[in-house]
């Protein structure tokens, strides 16, 4: 996959994804990342990329032409057609489903705004979709772009080892992830649930499913489509609820 990022801070994006799984995806050439700075396409001695908004008000708006030239340069660098995604708090919320969809594309161009935003005419002419990473305000799209790149990189075939397999991640089954434990079994902070050391794989899978369902019910009821759950899942969730009613969430068996 190829990702081009239109940003005033290309070095920041490169640094953000230079480590861990995303760094490795780059080294393995599963993902190629290219930054394009609109300032390099701006005119005049001052290389202006922003101006005051018509109608007045605070902040600055990014100019059409430097952005358009940077997008054109990015497009021209590779013949594959690119989807243009603008990172903005006005966008559709980023979900794992959206990440999966973007991850299947051959090419994506991420457009990062700074200041109050980007001239709306540039968005209308060039942008295919607008994406937000949550209901809070960042001072620019760069961190959001790094979030998209990370989430998409780890889904590229070969990016994760078996041990890191994405299949069991939170959200991949529409549920939050179950809790995890490692050595030592006994610690002053508590004991690892016995079932995880039983060697009984069916029981372990059942425990993990119950914890994932229970956590999702407790923490993110908005994600839980109860009517759509299987009979077995209903039973697991009811077990969790019964236990919760009895001992709260510090039960570990």
Q: Which residues are catalytic?
A: 89, 116, 154, 169
173 binds ligand 6GU (CB under 6 A): no
The SS3 assignment for 115 reads: coil
CB 55 within 8 A of CB 39: no
111 binds ligand 6GU (CB under 6 A): no
* Binding of ligand 6GU by 87 (CB under 6 A): yes
Q: How far is the CB of 134 from ligand 6GU (least distance, A)?
A: 5
Under the criterion CB under 6 A, does residue 21 sit at the interface with ligand 6GU?
no
Interacting residue with ligand 6GU among 88, 110, 155, 176 (CB under 6 A)? 88
CB 74 within 8 A of CB 82: yes
Report the first-to-last Cα separation within the chain, whole angstroms.
44
Q: Which residue has the tokens 């956590």?
A: 215
- Given the complex with ligand 6GU, which of 66 and 91 has the nearer CB atom? 91
Determine if 89 is a binding residue for ligand 6GU (CB under 6 A): yes
Choices 15-23, 137-145, 167-175, 200-208 (CB under 6 A): range interacting with ligand 6GU: 137-145
Query: Which residue lies nearer to ligand 6GU by CB, 146 or 237?
Result: 146
Residues 6+ apart with CB under 8 A from 120: none
Among 133, 146, 149, 160, binds ligand 6GU (CB under 6 A): 133
Instruction: List alpha helices for 104-230, DSSP H.
Output: 120-126, 142-153, 201-219
Q: Where are the alpha helices (DSSP H) in 83-174?
A: 96-103, 120-126, 142-153
- The size of the chain, in residues, is 253
Read off the tokens for 53: 């908004």
Q: Does 60 bind ligand 6GU (CB under 6 A)?
A: no
Q: Which of 76, 137, 189, 245 binds ligand 6GU (CB under 6 A)?
A: 137
Please give the Cα distance from 99 to 7 (Å, whole number): 20
Q: From the CB of residue 167, how many other CB atoms can be counted at a distance below 10 Å?
A: 7
**Which span sits near ligand 6GU by CB under 6 A: 57-65, 87-95, 102-110, 230-238?**
87-95
Question: Shortest Cβ distance from residue 176 to ligand 6GU (Å)?
Answer: 21
Question: Which residues of this protein are in contact with ligand 6GU, per CB under 6 A?
Answer: 87-89, 91, 132-134, 136-138, 140-141, 144
């Amino acid at each position: 996959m190829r990702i081009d990022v239109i940003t005033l801070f290309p070095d920041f994006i490169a640094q953000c994804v230079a480590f861990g799984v995303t760094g490795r995806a780059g080294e393995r050439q599963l993902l190629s990342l290219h930054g394009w700075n609109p300032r390099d396409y701006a005119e005049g001695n001052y290389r202006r990329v922003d101006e005051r908004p018509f109608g007045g008000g605070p902040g600055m708006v990014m100019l059409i032409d430097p952005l358009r030239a940077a997008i054109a340069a990015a497009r021209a660098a590779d013949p594959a057609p690119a989807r243009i995604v603008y990172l903005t708090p006005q966008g559709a919320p980023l979900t794992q489903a959206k990440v999966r969809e973007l991850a299947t594309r051959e090419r994506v161009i991420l457009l990062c705004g700074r200041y109050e935003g980007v001239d709306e005419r540039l968005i209308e002419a060039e942008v295919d979709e607008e994406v937000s990473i949550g209901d809070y305000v960042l001072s620019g799209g760069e961190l959001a772009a790094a979030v998209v790149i990370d989430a998409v990189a780890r889904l590229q075939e070969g990016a994760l080892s078996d041990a890191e397999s994405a299949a069991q991640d939170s959200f991949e089954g529409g549920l939050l992830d179950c809790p995890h434990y490692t050595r030592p079994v006994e610690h002053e902070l508590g004991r690892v649930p016995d079932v995880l050391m039983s060697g009984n794989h069916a029981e372990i899978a059942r425990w993990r499913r119950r914890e994932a369902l229970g956590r999702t019910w407790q923490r993110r009821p908005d994600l839980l489509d109860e009517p759509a759950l299987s009979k077995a899942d209903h039973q697991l969730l009811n077990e969790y609820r019964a236990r919760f009613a009895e001992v709260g969430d510090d039960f570990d068996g």
